Amino acid sequence: MEHPTEADLAAMRVERSRLRQHLHHHPEDQEARAALAANHRTAGHADQAGRWGLLVPGASTSAERQAFARWAVRTGATDRGRLLKILFVPRRRWLTELDPTGEVVEFEHLVEREGRRLMRGTTTVADDAFETLMLAVPTALGGVLVGVDASVVSAFFGGPSDEPGQPPWVPTTWAELWVGVGMGTLCAYGAVIVVRLIVLAVRLPSTRRSRRWFAERVRRDKGRTGTS
């Protein structure tokens, strides 16, 4: 059935509803799962074909399972409990009874990979740069506080002096000590910012590719999705 008519699609929706109701009471029925996956495949719902064919060996393709993984990430079904719920696997049943080949465990790894792709695709370089700059403010304040703390400690335990023979870089006044500690902290953080900017520049091409890749597949999945 390459081009289902409206009547065919309506009949398929009724059949999907019947199969889902049946699986709700009989989750162990592999034939019903395979039939529901085939129904969604005919309707063009790749993600749902992967969903209902997951527990049936050979009932779904790798592309359908990957589409289902993206659907799971978008809907938040990334933990074991939520995943079993949308697969109609009751908690009172042992998972190994309905999934002897360990497909759910393999699928969880796939969901993790798709989740990482989503994070790479939705995190922009501007976000990382903003985060880096926001860290500069508390770090600069920290440098000032370190200088003040050093002055307070030195007031009790002795501070810088101008004894003969000491190196020229040793502070001889409280102001020099404060400026030295503060500038040292800021220079260290400046080095961190430079390193992060280099990392962001290196990540930019892969981030753009990930965003385009995930956006294209989400658009394609949304055009072919179906949850009924």
**Beta carbons within 10 angstroms of residue 94's beta carbon:** 8
**Beta carbons within 10 angstroms of residue 42's beta carbon:** 15
Q: What pLDDT, on a 0 to 100 scale, did the predictor assign at position 201?
A: 74
Q: What pLDDT, on a 0 to 100 scale, did the predictor assign at position 228?
A: 47
Give the CA distances from residue 66 to residues 29, 33, 58, 115, 170, in Å, rounded to whole numbers and listed in that order. Answer: 23, 18, 15, 11, 63
pTM here is 0.54
Kindly tell me if the per-residue pLDDT of 209 is higher than 80. no
Torsion 172-176-178-182 (CA) sign: negative
Distance in angstroms (rounded) separating the CA atoms of residues 183 and 178: 8
Closest CA to 64 of 120, 103, 21, 119: 103
List pLDDT tens digits, range 100-113: 777 888 888 888 88
Q: Average per-residue pLDDT in the chain?
A: 75
Average pLDDT score over residue span 66-82: 87
Among 55-59, 94-98, 123-127, 169-173, where is mean pLDDT lowest? 123-127
DSSP-assigned states of every residue in the chain: --S--HHHHHHHHHHHHHHHHHHHH-TT-HHHHHHHHHHHHHHT-HHHHHHHTTTSTTSS-HHHHHHHHHHHHHHT--SHHHHHHHTT--TTS-HHHH-TT-HHHHHHHHHHHHHHHHHHHH--HHHHHHHHHHHHHHHHHHHHHHHHHHHHHHHHH------TT--TTS--SHHHHHHHHHHHHHHHHHHHHHHHHHHHHHHHHHHHHHHHHHHHHHHHHHHH----
Average pLDDT score over residue span 67-72: 90
Kindly tell me if the per-residue pLDDT of 80 is higher than 50. yes
DSSP-assigned states of every residue in 57-87: TTSS-HHHHHHHHHHHHHHT--SHHHHHHHT
Kindly tell me if the per-residue pLDDT of 227 is higher than 90. no
Domain ranges across the chain:
6-121, 125-223
Closest CA to 212 of 90, 124, 110, 106: 124
Residue 71: burial class (beta carbons within 10 Å; 0-12, 13-18, 19+):
buried
List pLDDT tens digits, range 1-38: 467 788 888 999 999 999 999 999 999 999 999 999 99
